[in-house]
Amino acid sequence: MSDFKYALNAAMPLPVQGGAVTLGNFDGVHLGHQALLAETVRQARALGGPAVAVTFDPPPVRLLRPEAAPAQLTSLDLRIELLHQHGVDHVLLFETTLDLLQLSAAEFFNRILRDGLKAKAIVEGFNFAFGRHREGTTEVLQSLAKQHGIPVTLVPPKIAEGKPVSSSRIRDDVMQGRVDVARTLLGRPYALVGTVTRGAERGRTLGFPTANFDIAANLVPGNGVYAVRVEHQGKTWPGAANIGPNPTFGEQARKIETHLIGFAGDLYGQTLRIDFLKKLRDPSPFASVDALKRQIEADIVAAQSEASSLR
């Protein structure tokens, strides 16, 4: 498995040519995306060619409507890692430029899919669109592909609780703290990856040392206390994470503070992955430090129970 970067007008890497292709932003790599990837892999194996996922950096909306660009569910590195985990042979990362976005649907199809990738099969979702002003609907894609004998498979949406699974739906769940619902739609826990920074070390004085996590570039769940799992150097720890200010001590800055249950050691400057399992409670001020400590003890018990139930 490998990934390649591609810029418009550059030579297309040979390993990605002549196989089954799926294109998209794949933000979150959720259950709907996973269905696309599985079908792409299936068709690639039948063809004897590579299974290729094409994605874009930055997402096109960042150039076209930056004020409307949502926070991402996955960092670029995690997105590529997840695409590979779901079986594709190669990830082709397009450098998104205005020149690329100004290609008409026919130009994009001919230059990229037909001549560049030499696609033998194309797999897309029901709501796929491409080309300038998103003029390339699924009907346009099927018509262009038919002219060149390239089969197009449209994968229907994955339905959960009566509604299609989508990145925007998951984004709303994460912002509202419904990380358990997001976990169902993603097929895995929602995760943040970032670096441990130095904080006030108040948790240590309370008897519950915390790792202060930098506010990641991708979407941070809504304020509250969460049951989490933390991956560090190949080992997973249960934990309790607090997102938001610390009103008990008069702090208003929004932070992510995570207590790794059973861990002892120094994490400053190290990269962690936090998997969010379930929101335990909303944030609230406490009348005394002792009241806060009792609540933290209860949070840790609840967090450890939640993490244990997923093993």
Predicted local distance difference test score (pLDDT) of residue 250: 58
- Average pLDDT of the residues of the chain: 91
Q: Is residue 22 located within the same domain as residue 151? A: yes
Which one of 157, 190, 210 terminates a domain?
Answer: 157
Instruction: Using a pLDDT cut of 70, give the percent of the chain over it.
Output: 94
| Residue 201 zone, left/alpha/beta (φ > 0; ψ -120 to 50; rest) | left
Single residue among 157, 179, 208 that ends a domain in this structure: 157
Q: What is the pLDDT of residue 216?
A: 66
Lowest mean pLDDT segment, chosen from 30-44, 123-137, 192-206: 192-206
For the cut 90, the answer to whether the pLDDT of residue 311 exceeds it is no
Q: Is it the case that residue 73 has pLDDT exceeding 60?
A: yes
Neighbours of 310 (CB within 10 A): 13
Q: What is the rounded distance in angstroms from the CA atom of residue 89 to the CA atom of residue 21?
A: 11
| pLDDT tens string 199-233 | 655 555 555 788 888 766 789 999 999 999 999 88
Residue 85 is predicted with a pLDDT of 96
pLDDT value of position 204: 54
Check whether residue 93 and residue 70 sit in a common domain. yes
pLDDT digits over 186-195, tens only?
999 999 988 8
User: How large is the average pLDDT for residues 118-129?
Assistant: 95
pLDDT given for residue 245 in this prediction: 80
Q: How many CB atoms lie within 10 A of CB 276?
A: 23
Position 176 confidence tier, pLDDT thresholds 50, 70, 90: very high
Contact 237, 262 (CB under 8 A): yes
Closest CA to 229 of 307, 310, 281: 307
Residue 292's pLDDT band (boundaries 50, 70, 90)? confident
Residue 17 sits in a domain whose CATH number is 3.40.50.620
Quick one: 34 and 66 in the same domain?
yes
Q: Which structural domain range is residue 302 located in?
A: 164-309
Question: Do residues 26 and 63 lie in contact, with contact meaning Cβ atoms separated by under 8 Å?
Answer: no
Label residue 118 by pLDDT band (50, 70, 90): very high
- Please tell me whether residues 177 and 246 are part of one structural domain: yes
Residue bearing the bigger pLDDT, 305 or 2 = 305
Q: Are residues 105 and 169 in the same domain?
A: no
Q: Which pTM was predicted?
A: 0.91
CATH number at residue 180: 2.40.30.30
295, 265 contact by CB (below 8 A): no
Does 146 share its domain with 267? no
Residues 201, 207: Cα–Cα separation, whole Å: 10
Contact (CB, 8 A) for 42 and 87: no
Taking the mean position of all CA atoms in its chain, how far away is CA 280? 23
Q: Looking at residue 251, what is its pLDDT?
A: 64
Same domain, 152 and 168: no
* Phi, psi of 84, rounded to the nearest 5 degrees: -65, -40
Query: Model confidence over 246-287: pLDDT tens digits?
Result: 765 556 678 899 999 999 888 888 889 999 999 999 988 787
139 with 172, same domain? no
Count of the separate structural domains present in the chain: 2
Closest CA to 28 of 157, 153, 168: 168
Statement to judge: residues 107 and 16 lie in one domain: yes
The string of DSSP letters for 108-123 reads: HIIIIIIIIS--SEEE
Q: Which of 109, 141, 157 is the last residue of a domain?
A: 157
Query: pLDDT tens, 75-108?
Result: 999 999 999 999 999 999 999 999 999 999 999 9
Q: Residue 161: which pLDDT band, with cuts at 50, 70 and 90?
A: confident
Quick one: which of 53, 52, 42 has its CA closest to 18? 52
15 and 149 housed in the same domain:
yes
The string of DSSP codes covering 284-305 is ---SSHHHHHHHHHHHHHHHHH
130 and 173 in a common domain? no
Amino acid letter for position 301: V
Q: Are residues 173 and 303 part of one domain?
A: yes
Alpha helices in the chain (DSSP H): 31-47, 60-64, 76-85, 98-101, 105-108, 138-147, 167-175, 179-186, 202-206, 289-309
- pLDDT computed for residue 247 by the predictor: 63
The gap between the terminal CA atoms of the chain, to the nearest Å, is 28
More confident residue, 307 or 185: 185
What are 44-57's pLDDT values in tens digits?
999 999 999 999 99
